[in-house]
Structure 1
Amino acid sequence: MSVWPEESDVSELITTLGAYDREDLGLILPHEHVFVDLGPMAAANWTDADPDDVVDVMAPEIERARAAGVTALVEATPEGVGRRVDVDLAVSEAAEFPVVVPTGIYQEPKIPDWAREASEDDLYEWLLSELTEGVEDTGVRAAWIKVSTDDDDPTGLSADEAKILRAAARAGADTGAAIGIHTLHGGVVHQQLDVIEDAGYDADRFIWIHAQADDADHHEAVADRGAYVEYDWIGGDDQDDERYLDLIERMLDAGHRDRLLLSQDRGWYDPSEPGGGQQRPYTYLPETFLPKLRERVGEGTVTRLTQDNPFDAYAR
């Protein structure tokens, strides 16, 4: 049974601090990390992390982002890489800054054993509960669904990845929640879109995360199907701003102004590293990249790409 009204003229972005209307927010970073465990799963470093330690490190990073004009950010850490919504909430409350958190499960080989053993129906019920009732005992509802596919396999989804995606599509269809998928191979994205459409959901609620990892021809083809295309390594050590500027202009020229998202995949406190590791500030996009983009495409387009599009993508 659907819990999402078939027609509504009100969209809200669900965050750690409650639901926000479009008018409440400005620049939104649609793919960042507050807390993520990139160490071995068996070590389970995320389980013992003290929220206060994370607050001490990450609240100042959030403050720097706010000073640079950021009004909200999307946490992109799912189960399998150390999701801790209680930690996200602690940082959010300390900084008085809204964070958008996901439900969902990461890729091979980091799919948790409980998810491998669960049926598609079990996973659907779990996703639906986190989207409508809240994550564990945090009181925070997940706003969207984050899933993934194996970076080293360009041929398609594993059986467990496909099962998770089908459950995600069903939960998305019942709530209006976006499905964001970490995928490095453009050909696989079309398979994923086929899966969610076969399960009864819509391509326009699909976000291709890390699209910049594959050829731009795939970007246009995926956007032609109605999905969002996200460039989210902007400011990375081996990334070239000119390449991103050219990619953005190509997508704009192809008529995909409303299907493009920009972010950095930055921040994060990693509990597998001493003191949380080395953080990467959230400020590169607003302070360094967007001034270059404004010179090319104008203020109105920048506003569309950094305010309206991320709100439309993640709100429900």
Structure 2
Amino acid sequence: MKFIPSRITILLFYMGCFCQFLYGQDSNYIMTVKGKLAVEEMGKTLVHEHIVTNFEGTRNPNQPFKDQEKAINLILPHLNNLKTLGYTTLVECTPSHIGKNVELLQQLSERSGINIITNTGYYAAVDKKYLPESVYSLSPQSIAATWLKEWEQGISATGIRPGFIKLGVGKGELDSIEQKIFKAGLLLGSTTGMALAVHTGDGISIKSQYRLAKKNNFDLNKLIWVHAQNGKNEERIEMAREGIWISLDGVSETRIEEYLNMIVALHDKSLLSRLLLSHDDGWSVEYTEGDLTLKPFENGNSTPYNTISEILLKRLYEQGFSKEQIDLIFVENPKEALGISK
């Protein structure tokens, strides 16, 4: 049976060609909330953090802060502290329909000097409570076209463009809806060169993603297994050997030894070149007397974005890790995973 491309597939192809013409095929850059930046300027990076997250779901649409300056005053000191710790870039992983506030991110980036990268995509984990109703009736090509519009024109009316694709899936084999958004992510990633970062429930799920990505000839160097700590050492090693990024997100004061053991296991198999690390810290929106306030995530860290530098790195050095290996994890690997060359 002869394959006949749909109009949307053809449109995606030609829009991708336009992107390559507009930004150059030989460039290598990241897309931040302030615009395009050479990948060499990315520097030391935290690859999975949050600023503001709204867990109400799509049934209770995200609302703007009455006083966004209050949020800035709360969060800005933590970003300023990141600079003193030597970080230059923060990858903000709050997905669409979970409180993503790109204008807030842009203001915080401008005031702190930290590069912030936001995303496009949909999140189907947590019983799909964060998915828009339209997903159920749209094709993967139509969903990808919606996200491509954000890449081309910016998110909503802000003009702020995403720098990667963020999806969320649960445990086990991908179900039909998860497959649909994953296929849309594969289409968009192949068209734009953006990395595909997928919140993943377990090792069975990442293997399901791996098979689908291989079937669609997707570049596995642009697939990030988000929350790979939810898998097993043998699964992480297997996927790393296949070229998938192993992102251990959730480093906390209460789980240092657990994360240290996972890192050492990859090191012992010469797979540090596939490792990404972060805290998954941030603030959730709370409703207090009709106003929106912010509450730090309760994930085992007393200070957001601090535990890796203050505790984990010291333990890694005690284990014999070199500065070159630490730079590989926090500088070189994020550049390769998130750099865009199309």
Whether TM-score is above 0.5 comes out as yes
| Corresponding position of 1:251 | 266
Cα deviation 1:174-209 (Å, max 9, x = unaligned): 111100111121011011122223233121110000
CA contact (8 A) 2:42 2:115 kept: no
1:278 alignment partner in structure 2: 296
- Using the TM superposition, give the Cα deviation of residue 269 of structure 1 relative to its aligned residue in structure 2, in angstroms: 4.3
> What SS does structure 1 have at the residue aligned with 2:207?
helix
Equivalent residues in 2 for 1:148-187, closer than 5 Å: 148-150=168-170, 154-187=171-204
User: In the alignment, which residue of structure 1 is the partner of 2:145?
Assistant: 125
- Distance in structure 1 (CA, Å) of the matches to 2:71 and 2:280: 18
User: Once the 2 structures are TM-superposed, how far is the Cα of residue 85 of structure 1 from its aligned partner?
Assistant: 1.6
Secondary structure of the structure 1 residue equivalent to 2:59:
helix
Matched, 1:85 2:102: yes
Shift of 1:218: 0.7
Contact 2:48 / 2:93 at 8 angstroms: preserved in 1?
yes
Q: Is the 8 A contact 1:57 1:269 kept in 2?
A: no
Q: Secondary structure at the match of 2:94?
A: coil
Letter aligned with residue 337 of structure 2: A
**Shift in alpha-carbon separation, 1:204–1:25, aligned structure 2, 3 A:** closer
Separation in structure 2 between the aligned mates of residue 132 and residue 253 of structure 1, nearest angstrom:
42
Amino acid at match of 1:20: L
1:257-311 alpha-carbon deviations (Å, 9 max, x no partner): 2110010001224245762113641121122211221332110000000111012
- Write the mapping of 1:88-127 to structure 2, written as runs, cut at 5 A: 88-107=105-124, 108-110=127-129, 111-127=131-147
- Supply the RMSD in Å over aligned alpha carbons: 2.1
Deviation (angstroms), 1:43? 2.8
- The yes-or-no answer on 1:47 pairing with 2:63 is yes
Aligned to 2:248: 231
**2:44 is matched with which residue: 13, 19, 27?**
27
Cα 1:138/1:30, change in 2 over 3 Å? same
2:31 is paired with a residue of what secondary structure? strand
Q: For 1:109 and 1:134, how far apart are their aligned partners in 2? A: 25
**Shift in Å at residue 9 of structure 1?**
4.7
Moved more, 99-108 or 87-96: 87-96
- Cα 1:158–1:82 change in 2 (3 A) is farther
d(CA) in 1 for partners of 2:70 and 2:208?
41
CA distance in 1, matches of 2:309, 2:158: 31
Counterpart amino acid of 1:289?
Answer: L
Bigger-Rg structure (1/2): 2
Q: 2-side partners of 1:138 and 1:196: how far apart? A: 32
Q: How many Å separate the matches in 2 of 1:196 and 1:308?
A: 24
Equivalent AA in structure 2 for residue 282 of structure 1? Y
Structure 2 length normalisation: TM-score?
0.84
| Secondary structure at the counterpart of residue 48 of structure 1 | coil
- Give the TM-score of the pair, scaled to structure 1: 0.91
List per-residue Cα deviations over 1:133-163 (Å, max 9, x = no partner): 321222221111010112xxx3322222111
- Correspondence list, 1:65-84, <5 A: 65-84=82-101
- Contact 1:33–1:77 (CA under 8 A) maintained in structure 2: yes
Identity %: 25
Counterpart among 280, 292, 313 of residue 290 in structure 1: 313
Show the counterpart of 1:314: 338
Do the aligned partners of 2:222 and 2:244 also contact (CA within 8 Å) in 1?
yes
Aligned match of 1:219 in 236, 239, 244? Answer: 236
Aligned length: 310
Unmatched runs of 5 consecutive residues or more in structure 2: 1-12, 298-302
Residues 272/116 of structure 1: CA separation in 2 closer, same or farther (3 Å cut) = farther
Contact 1:26–1:70 (CA under 8 A) maintained in structure 2: yes
Tell me how far apart the structure 1 counterparts of residues 159 and 335 of structure 2 sit (CA, whole Å): 22
Q: 1:305 to 1:175 in 2, by over 3 A?
A: same
Secondary structure class of the residue paired with 2:198: strand
- Deviation of 1:8 after TM superposition, in Å, equals 4.8
Tell me, in whole angstroms, the C-alpha distance in 2 between the residues paired with 1:202 and 1:144: 14
Distance 1:306 1:19 in 2: 20
Q: Does 1:242 align with 2:257?
A: yes
